[in-house]
Structure 1
Amino acid sequence: MDSSLAGRRPASSDTMHHLALPFALIGLVPAACAIAADSPAEPATTLRDSAAPPAQLPTVHVTDRAEGGLGLSQATTSGSRTGIATRDLPASLDTVGEQTWQERGDSRMADIIGRTVGMTPLSATSYSSLSFSTRGFTGTNSVGIAEDGVRLSVASSTTPYPANSWGYERVEVLRGPASIVYGTGTVGATANVVRKQPTRETVREVLVGAGSHGASRLGLGMGGALSGTVTYRVDAYGHYTNGEHDMARARGGKLMSTLRWQPTAALRLELLADVSDERPARYFGTPTVNGAIVPELLGRNFNTTDSRIRIQDQRLRARAQYQANAWLAVSNELYRFQANRYWRNIEAYRYLPATQQVALSDYLELSHDLVQTGNRLEAAIQTGAHKLVIGWEASQAQFDFARNDYAGSDLVGVNAPSLGHWPNASPMLPSYRTQATTHDFYVEDAWTLSDRWLLLAGIRRDITDFERQDLVGNGSFDKRLGGTAWRLGVTHRLNARTSLYGQLSQGHDPVTNVLTLNLGNRPFKLTTARQIELGLKQQWAQGRGEWTAAAYRIEKKDIITRDPNNSLLSVQGGEQSAQGLELSAALRLSPHWRVEGNYAFVDAQYDRLLEAGGADRSGNRPANVARHTANLWLHYTTPSSLGRWQASLGARAVGQRFADTANTASSAGYTVWDAALSWHPHPLSTYRLTVRNLSDKLYTYSAISSAIAAQAYPGEGRRVDLSAEFAF
């Protein structure tokens, strides 16, 4: 057993409230000052300026962004296809840039997204899923993941890509119903990962890293011009670790490439090709007793020694952009994504204290083969005060599922060696095949009413034709699903640096992953959620600080409940709601000190929910939803004769969560502290020492159930990493 794990103790929720409170105060002082002292004379881009006719398509698009800021001045397509600035968007949008996650020592995408306001990771490692809880809603059916604005279909709650940050320049998180931009399954939020672009300037980047548990990683990036009209970008990345548990070795790699041809200022053509191969840790947690982790079992792995997980992705995209004239731009994107996934593991462990044994079950061998092809055609029209986008996206996803139905079980002593080999030699057999063909039609308009007022309105209609072919049994069927999303929002500039906004929006989620619909949930339609949100975005202190605030309420209808007259029958008709407050701030206090932080409060409940046996869960909080979450980073930078030094200290805090809808089992909140020390001997080179989980706190990503067969996935223990980053 790893001795570093044995000494860890559960975190206290009290720390959470001490850390969260300052964030509620960070923004109030500058906000009050700026609203009281309206300064419209200050030079800045106004809403009216943004409506000027567009220039010809540039070869390189460079956006200025203050160091460590929130990116309020950045143009974004993550929150609206019209490309308006984040400051003018009547919605909550977080932006995290490459420099920010490098300063924090983050490289896993789950960690980067999980530090944005209100986003709590639920999966300890990215191979199982990039799964989060936010605004009272959880999982891949409510929180979407996209790359450059395109989402990969979710199969069996699995969204493992992109696993790490190499090759990406920023992550943008749109909170609240995002179906108007991304389609179904995005009521809680959507994280859009934006990749690095080709440039005419020659770029070479190298990352070398090593750390605890035999970890190592290497990243290479290159870009530049091949001719007067052709540019490129290539990124390669590989990693390895022995892991902090038995049999937790993991390794993987990827190659990302973009080739751009721009024969004229008005026409741009791109071809993107990516491959990745991940072999994650074969670890599925540790047994628990009465909702608590057994310290003596930490570090033990009860999987077979020849267990296996492999995740392979291939992605091809072709993009064309044409600026037909001063008011019309047309773009088209054709893509093909393929994901092949394989698991062979024992995934359930139950501790028997009386005999000092562990009962093994859930012997699972299965594969997912997912192929998605699609095309998005879009026209952007700018006429007068209107920026109008009209689009049509058609996609087809095919999912093949195979498994080995081995109902094995076994008993092993807690100190006995792990099982040596997979006990069943029977082959996997195809189980079912599904296909979902979707057509999405959308219109969005950003209307600049005056220098101070902007109206954003949009509507989207999704239509999915679903087919399931059972290869075992008689469960084949067809079904059509449809959903309409819309948004109406208004932004008002109080002054050149302060904006107020409000919006009404509607989105929709499936009751389960669309590609895994079966006869049991065939009758169900998409759920519907409506949100009202009010917010403020502000830059202050001559651009040294930025802060945002958002208050919202979301009501979701048609969730699965039980028939009041027959508790054995599942029906739609349940309701769930959430309301809350979110604060984000970044401030340069002096030439040496900089602080970044966010805080989220959410009050979520089931307004109407009946479960088996007629149990009424109305008024209860959904599982794995914390009322309070917060993040804080403090950076101190100082120059010296040997270069620039930066010391950083950060905290991530999550409040108490329930493990069940009955709210009978809960896990305490936790606060995890991280630290980083970096040395910049040259502007293009950085050496960084990072310590994760400074106090070696024992915590879990998901709340622990009190069920007899429950197990928990402990969070990462103390880890030390050393890295070197070069650009030339």
Structure 2
Amino acid sequence: MIPFRPTLAISLRPIVATIAALSTSGAWAQQTDVMPTITVQGESLHEGLGLARESTTASRLNITLLELPASVDLLGADTMQARGDLLVKDAITRTTGLTDTSSPGNGVAYSARGFSGNSAIALLENGVRPQVGSGTATYPADPWGYDYIEVLRGPGSIVYGSGTTGATINAVRKAPRRTASVEAMAGIGGGRTVRGGIGATGPLGEKAAFRIDAYADHSDGFIDRGQSRHGKIMTSFAYALTADLDLDLSLDHVEQKPQRYFGTPLLDGRISRELRDQNYDIGDADISFRDNKAIARLTWRAGPALTISNELAYMKAHRNWRNAESYSYNTQAKAVERNDYIAIRHEQEQAGNRLEARWNAGANRIVAGWEAATINFTHTNNAPYGGTSTVAAVGFNPGIFDSPDPLRPNFTTDTITNALYLEDAYSINEALLLLGGVRHDQYKVERTSLLGAAGFSSKLRANAVRLGLTWKVAPDTSLYGQVSSGSDPVTSLLSLNLANSRYKLTSSRQVETGIKQSLANGKAEWTAALYHISKDDIITRDPSNPALSIQGGSQSSRGAEASASVALAPAWRLEANAAYTDARFDQLIESGNLSRAGKRPADVPKISSNLWLNYRTERSRAALGVRYVGERYIDNGNTQTLPAYTTLDASLGWSVKRNILLQLNLRNLADKLYARTSYSDSQYLLGERRHAELTVQWHY
């Protein structure tokens, strides 16, 4: 493995130098209008809910959010910057009904509409989705270089396949443009945080354009031994091969060393302020993620109404963990007992191709496509993860990784996926839009044990449909309704074991209705939705033989969501959203023949909401935000809760010059002690303490 070192920032210098050279060279001297077709959304539309913008996530037909019969949130780069969202998960959890369930073990993960985890919430970049290995997703992690982020709530299987029942999150990167520009950012803050980013775009000759984005950060965190590092380089290139044929290329490299922190043990069943700064992981703990991705896309405008594209993608990921992950506080000894000395490595390689045709003529917009991918996944670990130790609650020697179990390759899987999809948007008249879609997915997983156990081969299939109707009762008001279906794997497809290989994919169904409205030329926008989702074939115990696990369980959720953005005065804007989720297991039997029917699934709050008050003029900006997350259960038996919490954030910005913005971001102003998620019933991952960060942003 290539280690992630503090010298990563130094390794970015050639890229920075290249950007600087391009910004002053003759490469930008020849500017012409002959270029590939690149859709550029106006920056002013990043304000508000963006109902006039086209969705690139909820449909493959680029339908505006106002016309779309589905619930979608859109966060523009300008909005994320104004709020001081320096992590993607900060931005995502400010959208309607999304809560953070991330941990060092799963990378980044969320809960939405009653469903949680990376087998139910899909994470994509530019519509390309890496398959999830052993429940872990690692990027996108920071918003630098992205134009906007879309969040589709509810099943998105007709667009992206299985694993999308709760929501689909798509980070859309900034595209190459022929208008030359450079942007840079530098910041310092609490926890000895240092961060910096630079990006540039412009023409190359008469028919091409480029974009380069580089970013790096380093933090000591707010706990002992809480160091983290992150860096990336994202490059894009667009070239007009002919008047009707475009080539788009991208090549990315991302390295992360997340904070090696698995939570704080509870003290007498409560969160202890005295232990807030303690880190009970070992001294030589390690977590590292490395991701590489290359994409090539050809787009042929075969005629006035027909466009054909082919996208080839290659991704490779390496992940490494070496930690003591479980802690409990011994009240009598006044010490912390540690176990689960876990070492794991993932090697994942994915190659895929998407062939797609679009037709846009008259009242019909149609897209049809074929997707195929092969994924190789190797899992190395030290199961059964032995090792124990006891340390003082404070002032202790963290020790080193000491497990009696050797680290050795465990298994490999080779997965082949195929999917066919068709989507049609038919304008019945000027007021009615009918959107329909169908998709068929096939998965073949072959597992080979590297420890001498028997291997197996498993084939899985899923069908998904969506039918929605949007009625524009006025040019700026629409009512909609939709029915849709989807599927999720019972566990990560790439890490199926023999016990899970006999299970089929779970099936989900959603009914949703809602309203969207834009008033006073976009000065006020609001949406509301009601939904019901049911999911069948989850794993449960056999009622006639509790020693056996079978598919036969079910869960459901129903809820209401609302979001609004209102310009109170020329310089003032109020933004708010709220979600009510009533989720439950309808049928589930767990170990001990215990029925969980009527219980709420873990990690699902009944209520979550966000409120932002924004002030903005040509020379200054300010924002004040409140985030509320209701109590959540940490287990399906609903025996233990994570307390509800409210956090208060703010940002202040000043335009020092026309192209220079100085911004102060303030987080957790009330210094709230809270748990953002749990790692076990004896340890919680705590939210960050009160801190500030100062950034300077430059645009040219």
TM-score, normalisation: structure 1: 0.89
The one-letter code of the counterpart of 2:75 is: V
* Distance (Å, rounded) in 2 between the aligned partners of 1:289 and 1:399: 40
Deviation string 1:425-473 (CA, Å, 9 cap, x unpaired) is 9752110001110001000000011000010000000000110101114
**Residue 216 in 1 paired to residue 194 in 2?**
yes
Shift of 1:62: 2.4
Question: Could you tell me which residue of structure 2 aligns to residue 121 of structure 1?
Answer: 100
**Residue 670 in 1 paired to residue 649 in 2?**
no
Task: Report if the CA contact (8 A) 2:589-2:595 is conserved.
Answer: yes
The one-letter code of the counterpart of 1:458 is: G
* Distance (Å, rounded) in 2 between the aligned partners of 1:677 and 1:581: 33
Task: Give the match's secondary structure for 2:500.
Answer: coil
Task: Report if the CA contact (8 A) 1:286-1:300 is conserved.
Answer: yes
Task: Give the match's secondary structure for 1:430.
Answer: strand
Q: In the superposition, relative to structure 1, how do residues 400 and 635 fare at CA in structure 2: closer, same or farther (>3 Å)?
A: same
Task: Report if the CA contact (8 A) 1:469-1:477 is conserved.
Answer: yes
Question: Could you tell me which residue of structure 1 aligns to residue 317 of structure 2?
Answer: 339
* Distance (Å, rounded) in 2 between the aligned partners of 1:426 and 1:581: 49
**Residue 659 of structure 1 is aligned with which of 631, 634, 653?**
634
* Distance (Å, rounded) in 1 between the aligned partners of 2:534 and 2:646: 30
Question: Could you tell me which residue of structure 1 aligns to residue 394 of structure 2?
Answer: 415
Task: Give the match's secondary structure for 1:112.
Answer: helix
Question: Could you tell me which residue of structure 2 aligns to residue 53 of structure 1?
Answer: none
Question: Could you tell me which residue of structure 2 aligns to residue 436 of structure 1?
Answer: 415
Question: Could you tell me which residue of structure 2 aligns to residue 702 of structure 1?
Answer: 677
**Residue 402 in 1 paired to residue 377 in 2?**
no
* Distance (Å, rounded) in 1 between the aligned partners of 2:288 and 2:36: 41
The one-letter code of the counterpart of 1:331 is: S
Shift of 1:423: 2.5
**Residue 489 in 1 paired to residue 468 in 2?**
yes
Query: Counterparts of 1:456-467 in structure 2 under 5 Å?
Result: 456-467=435-446
Shift of 1:704: 7.5
**Residue 621 in 1 paired to residue 572 in 2?**
no
Question: Could you tell me which residue of structure 2 aligns to residue 563 of structure 1?
Answer: 542
5+ residue gaps, structure 1, are: 1-55
**Residue 479 of structure 1 is aligned with which of 452, 458, 464?**
458
**Residue 179 in 1 paired to residue 157 in 2?**
yes
Question: Could you tell me which residue of structure 1 aligns to residue 565 of structure 2?
Answer: 586
The one-letter code of the counterpart of 1:399 is: F
**Residue 201 in 1 paired to residue 173 in 2?**
no
Task: Give the match's secondary structure for 2:92.
Answer: helix
Deviation string 1:317-353 (CA, Å, 9 cap, x unpaired) is 1011110101110001001000001111111111112
**Residue 96 of structure 1 is aligned with which of 62, 75, 95?**
75
The one-letter code of the counterpart of 2:515 is: L
**Residue 315 of structure 1 is aligned with which of 282, 293, 302?**
293
Task: Give the match's secondary structure for 1:87.
Answer: coil
Larger mean CA deviation between 261-270 and 445-454 belongs to: 261-270
* Distance (Å, rounded) in 1 between the aligned partners of 2:404 and 2:632: 41
* Distance (Å, rounded) in 1 between the aligned partners of 2:603 and 2:690: 24
Q: In the superposition, relative to structure 1, how do residues 399 and 532 fare at CA in structure 2: closer, same or farther (>3 Å)?
A: same
Q: In the superposition, relative to structure 1, how do residues 651 and 334 fare at CA in structure 2: closer, same or farther (>3 Å)?
A: same
**Residue 273 in 1 paired to residue 251 in 2?**
yes
**Residue 721 of structure 1 is aligned with which of 673, 693, 698?**
693
Query: Counterparts of 1:28-107 in structure 2 under 5 Å?
Result: 59-64=37-42, 65-107=44-86
Task: Report if the CA contact (8 A) 1:658-1:703 is conserved.
Answer: no
Question: Could you tell me which residue of structure 1 aligns to residue 483 of structure 2?
Answer: 504
**Residue 391 of structure 1 is aligned with which of 355, 366, 369?**
369
Shift of 1:421: 2.6
Task: State the superposition RMSD in angstroms.
Answer: 1.5
Question: Could you tell me which residue of structure 1 aligns to residue 111 of structure 2?
Answer: 133
Q: Tell me: higher relative CO, structure 1 or 2? Use CA pairs within 8 A at least 6 residues apart.
A: 1
Question: Could you tell me which residue of structure 2 aligns to residue 26 of structure 1?
Answer: none
Task: Report if the CA contact (8 A) 1:207-1:725 is conserved.
Answer: yes
Task: Give the match's secondary structure for 1:180.
Answer: helix
Shift of 1:67: 4.8
Task: Report if the CA contact (8 A) 1:340-1:368 is conserved.
Answer: yes
* Distance (Å, rounded) in 2 between the aligned partners of 1:426 and 1:569: 29
The one-letter code of the counterpart of 2:423 is: E
Task: Report if the CA contact (8 A) 1:271-1:318 is conserved.
Answer: yes
The one-letter code of the counterpart of 2:165 is: V
Shift of 1:370: 0.5
* Distance (Å, rounded) in 1 between the aligned partners of 2:521 and 2:354: 41
Question: Could you tell me which residue of structure 2 aligns to residue 294 of structure 1?
Answer: 272
* Distance (Å, rounded) in 1 between the aligned partners of 2:382 and 2:585: 37
Question: Could you tell me which residue of structure 1 aligns to residue 241 of structure 2?
Answer: 263
The one-letter code of the counterpart of 1:714 is: L
Task: Give the match's secondary structure for 2:90.
Answer: helix
**Residue 108 in 1 paired to residue 87 in 2?**
yes
* Distance (Å, rounded) in 1 between the aligned partners of 2:532 and 2:392: 50
The one-letter code of the counterpart of 1:661 is: N
Q: How many equivalent pairs are there?
A: 665
The one-letter code of the counterpart of 1:245 is: I
The one-letter code of the counterpart of 1:234 is: I
Question: Could you tell me which residue of structure 1 aligns to residue 340 of structure 2?
Answer: 362
Q: In the superposition, relative to structure 1, how do residues 124 and 437 fare at CA in structure 2: closer, same or farther (>3 Å)?
A: closer
The one-letter code of the counterpart of 1:625 is: V
Task: Give the match's secondary structure for 1:232.
Answer: strand
Larger mean CA deviation between 527-536 and 413-422 belongs to: 413-422
Question: Could you tell me which residue of structure 1 aligns to residue 683 of structure 2?
Answer: 711
Question: Could you tell me which residue of structure 2 aligns to residue 239 of structure 1?
Answer: 217
Task: Give the match's secondary structure for 1:99.
Answer: helix
Larger mean CA deviation between 424-433 and 390-399 belongs to: 424-433
**Residue 151 of structure 1 is aligned with which of 106, 126, 129?**
129
Task: Report if the CA contact (8 A) 2:273-2:673 is conserved.
Answer: no
The one-letter code of the counterpart of 2:566 is: L
Deviation string 1:492-551 (CA, Å, 9 cap, x unpaired) is 001110011100000000111111111121211100000000011110023211111111
Deviation string 1:614-664 (CA, Å, 9 cap, x unpaired) is 11111111111111000010012346xxxx111210011101111111112
Question: Could you tell me which residue of structure 1 aligns to residue 28 of structure 2?
Answer: none
Task: Give the match's secondary structure for 1:621.
Answer: coil
**Residue 284 of structure 2 is aligned with which of 306, 311, 331?**
306
Shift of 1:387: 0.5
TM-score, normalisation: structure 2: 0.93
Q: In the superposition, relative to structure 1, how do residues 682 and 379 fare at CA in structure 2: closer, same or farther (>3 Å)?
A: same
**Residue 692 of structure 1 is aligned with which of 649, 667, 672?**
667
Task: Give the match's secondary structure for 1:589.
Answer: strand
The one-letter code of the counterpart of 1:300 is: Q
Task: Report if the CA contact (8 A) 2:103-2:679 is conserved.
Answer: no
Question: Could you tell me which residue of structure 2 aligns to residue 227 of structure 1?
Answer: 205
Shift of 1:203: 1.1
Task: Report if the CA contact (8 A) 2:185-2:197 is conserved.
Answer: yes
Task: Report if the CA contact (8 A) 1:132-1:140 is conserved.
Answer: yes
Deviation string 1:48-69 (CA, Å, 9 cap, x unpaired) is xxxxxxxx99544222343521
5+ residue gaps, structure 2, are: 1-33
The one-letter code of the counterpart of 1:726 is: W
Larger mean CA deviation between 465-474 and 397-406 belongs to: 397-406
